[in-house]
Structure 1
Amino acid sequence: MKIALISEHASPLAATGSVDSGGQNIYVANVARQLARKGHHVDVFTRCDKSLLPLVSRLNGVRVINVPAGPKRQLPKEQLLPYMEDFARFVVQFFRHEPSRYDVVHANFFMSGLVGLRVKESLGIPLVTTFHALGRVRRLHQGADDGFPDERFDIEDRLVRESDSVIAECQQDESDLVSLYQADNGRIDVVPCGFDHEEFHPVDKYAARAELGWPLDRFIALQLGRMVPRKGIDTVVRAIGLCNCALGEEAHLYVVGGNSDEANEIATPEIGRLRVIARECGVTDRVNFLGRRARANLRLYYNAADVFVTTPWYEPFGITPLEAMACSTPVIGANVGGIRYSVAHGESGLLVPPKDPLAVAHGLVTLKRDPQRAQSMGAAGLARAKEMFTWESVADTLSEVYARVAGIDVAADAARHAYNNVHDAWLATGGASV
């Protein structure tokens, strides 16, 4: 198939960990790569946010089209909606000048969905939409801090009605689509996120610590991801304070993420807020902010930690728990959204209420005092991740969805492709046996 992925603010070329660069970037990059590995032609359309980017880049067998829409610099995603008409106009013209027709458009996020709707209207190409976050859920949790206009709700309503398939990333996502958007269950496909086993796998904890220069004898909790308030990192900082000051167990927190390679309060204001909380809790010397790290090195951080902690207020899915599980590291996660689905409570980790530092602290103490249980949870998490959450299986399921909405008989198409390969080989030999 010829597949167009639209991801207006989350480019597969971007470094992850900054404010608007996280799970969606990883999702788009890995889905595109796996689809290309399976023989599909994949193009990713994303907004050009740097002046020196070429119109077309190439990454892992995928074309990345850097769409000129708005200023060629990074902007908060909350400011991008006014540029979507220009984005859509460019994409429609690009499609029209392609030598072969696209079979399906997969839009990621509601603004990409708006572009996808314009393509569907103009060219009749079927549309699949993954929201990655729903506006009404975001507004429920963030209130006045939500920077998106109410117009988002109308766009999402229309996408739910007019998309040929809406991808829910977990059961909670599906439930929210039905209850808040009156979505038709028959047009929802539940497809989770995944991890790359080549990228994330177990290594010896002490070897990882030695490479990172971490102390070998500390009990270390890791928090890794975007540095924004809704990720609930303050809950983990307060939990470290409770461990050390109320529960009598020494514990350290290492925080990876931010908008710069060094932990910089100017580049990442959230770090400044969290440092104040650490000081108030009396654990300034036990909370370490490391800044952004290259994705190729994240495996070391997951493996070096005794436990991975992630406590967002809400989470459409959450890729970082999968990456930790893939490194055989137990997870303490907020009992919300996709984390509730990916982490098996009591088996691969512990689920706790969001915004509950005491529950997190008790979880940390439990795992510190029972390292054998922590080790068995890590092993169970690795097995669960391999069985349920690989990018290969995600791409396989998405391929089936694409084929269905595009009206393509995959089995017949595969047989036709195999026949053509044999026939071409026969012709190449001048008709001899092959």
Structure 2
Amino acid sequence: MSTVNQAGDRLKVALCTREYPPEVYGGAGVHVEYLAKELSKHVALTVHCQGADRPTAVAHQPWDRLENDNPALQTISTGLSMVAAMGDVDLVHSHTWYANMAGHLTSLLYGIPHVLTVHSLEPLRPWKAEQLGGGYALSSWCERDAVENAAAVIAVSNGMKADVLSTYPSVNPDKVRVIHNGIDAQQYAPDPDTEVLERCGVDPHRPNVVFVGRITRQKGVPVLLRAAAQLDPEVQLVLCAGQPDTPELALEVTDLVNNLRATRSGVIWIEGMLDRHEVIQLLSHATAFVCPSLYEPLGIVNLEAMACGTAVVASNVGGIPEVVADGETGLLVQPDEPQALADALNTLARDPQRAEAMGYAGRQRAISEFDWTSIASQTATLYHEVANSAVKPVDG
């Protein structure tokens, strides 16, 4: 059923985000892509994003005069452009700090409710100071003001909700709603072909573990590379990893990869962006997908691996235990413990039948519990509740 406003029309919603296809580099961008597709069945939806012009969304760019300044300033200027363009909607829904301030200011300027989805929290990612410098203080300020003043906050996991309430104790727990990330299990499905493996140099006859993600402290790539030194010799490591946060982190990861390659074969680092088909095929043929994150509110990439029928070895942090059932769809280990990570990966590499059974169970779990149709319906229901409870300012 469609969500309607007080006039009986379909509720007009502006979804504001940094990432939107074709410019998607992280889990939040994937979330917005699939959520928007399903939400458009419930509300009159317009997506406002950042980056190059595209036919599927209203794109906004930073001010030219800030092109050589701190990235956080550029983001804030882009947000102001969004605010100017969102005056004709009933509700605004923002994703990540990159768009949260736009949602908050839109709410203040036009007197409409702001719903905010929390995919992570800036105070829990202190390593971002390496990337943004003083801009990290600005990103933290943008997030804090938006979260504390939003009409409703969507947390992508129960772990994320707990983090919101402990980080921002002034937030009323009643306005924080848990709505998980989802997966399109028709698109993310086991792919029997192997041409991508062969092109990337992955031997389909040897066990392999796959990582997909950005090179950032949060994702624990150095932890994985230290663990890889303890993997059984026949196990291949496939790193689909790019976009390092800082030159220093890029150098650290490069040194670790080079040291590994000096001692073992089967270390494959794919630095360029892969398309979805390529990622799906690599995941489908992995003995295990590995997620060594130090901080992860949910980890949508774990759902992608599970939907491809692959066992997951992941850190027992944040919302990951709500996705990966330990001992059933994968194995959970404590974060930042390379030896424990290596032991879990070796366990599955030595027992391919167990890994296969976990992969099968993971796909069934992804299908039954993380469907985007249900997630969009829950989100539209929240819109309805917020819109009906909002009090419009009286002119005069």
What's the TM-score bracket when you normalise by the shorter of the two chains?
A: 0.7 to 0.9
Greater mean deviation of Cα atoms: 391-400 or 154-163: 154-163
Q: Are 2:84 and 1:81 equivalent residues in the alignment?
A: no
Q: 1:365 to 1:205 in 2, by over 3 A?
A: farther
Distance 1:111 1:396 in 2: 25
> 2:125 is paired with a residue of what secondary structure?
helix
- Which has the higher Rg, Structure 1 or Structure 2? 1
Q: How does 1:15-414 map to 2 (within 5 A)?
A: 16=24, 21-36=25-40, 38-47=41-50, 49-50=51-52, 53=53, 57-59=54-56, 64-71=57-64, 79-81=71-73, 83-85=75-77, 87-88=79-80, 90-96=81-87, 101-139=88-126, 147=133, 148-182=135-169, 183-204=171-192, 209=197, 214-244=202-232, 249-259=233-243, 270=249, 272-281=251-260, 282-283=262-263, 285-291=265-271, 292-407=273-388
Q: For the Cα contact (< 8 Å) 1:227–1:268, is it kept in 2?
A: no
Deviations 1:174-207 (A, max 9, x none): 1111111012110001011111123201233768
Q: 1:221 to 1:269 in 2, by over 3 A?
A: farther
Q: For the Cα contact (< 8 Å) 2:131–2:246, is it kept in 1?
A: no
Q: For the Cα contact (< 8 Å) 1:105–1:126, is it kept in 2?
A: yes
Q: For the Cα contact (< 8 Å) 2:212–2:241, is it kept in 1?
A: yes
Deviations 1:20-49 (A, max 9, x none): x2111111111111112x2532211122x3
Offset, 1:273? 2.8
Offset, 1:82? 5.1
Q: For the Cα contact (< 8 Å) 1:258–1:268, is it kept in 2?
A: no
Q: For the Cα contact (< 8 Å) 1:236–1:311, is it kept in 2?
A: yes
Q: 1:146 to 1:137 in 2, by over 3 A?
A: farther
Greater mean deviation of Cα atoms: 276-285 or 298-307: 276-285
The aligned amino acid for 2:45 is V
Offset, 1:347? 0.6
The aligned amino acid for 1:25 is G
1:10 corresponding residue in structure 2: 19
Normalising by the residue count of structure 1, what TM-score does the alignment of the two structures yield? 0.79
The aligned amino acid for 2:124 is V
Q: For the Cα contact (< 8 Å) 2:71–2:132, is it kept in 1?
A: no
The aligned amino acid for 1:149 is Y
Distance 2:183 2:354 in 1: 24
Offset, 1:285? 2.9
Q: For the Cα contact (< 8 Å) 2:225–2:256, is it kept in 1?
A: yes
> 1:350 is paired with a residue of what secondary structure?
strand
Offset, 1:153? 3.7
> 2:143 is paired with a residue of what secondary structure?
helix
Q: 1:212 to 1:84 in 2, by over 3 A?
A: closer
Q: For the Cα contact (< 8 Å) 2:194–2:281, is it kept in 1?
A: no
Normalising by the residue count of structure 2, what TM-score does the alignment of the two structures yield? 0.86
Offset, 1:219? 0.9
RMSD: 2.8
Unaligned runs of 5+ in 2: 1-10, 390-396
Provide the identity percentage.
28
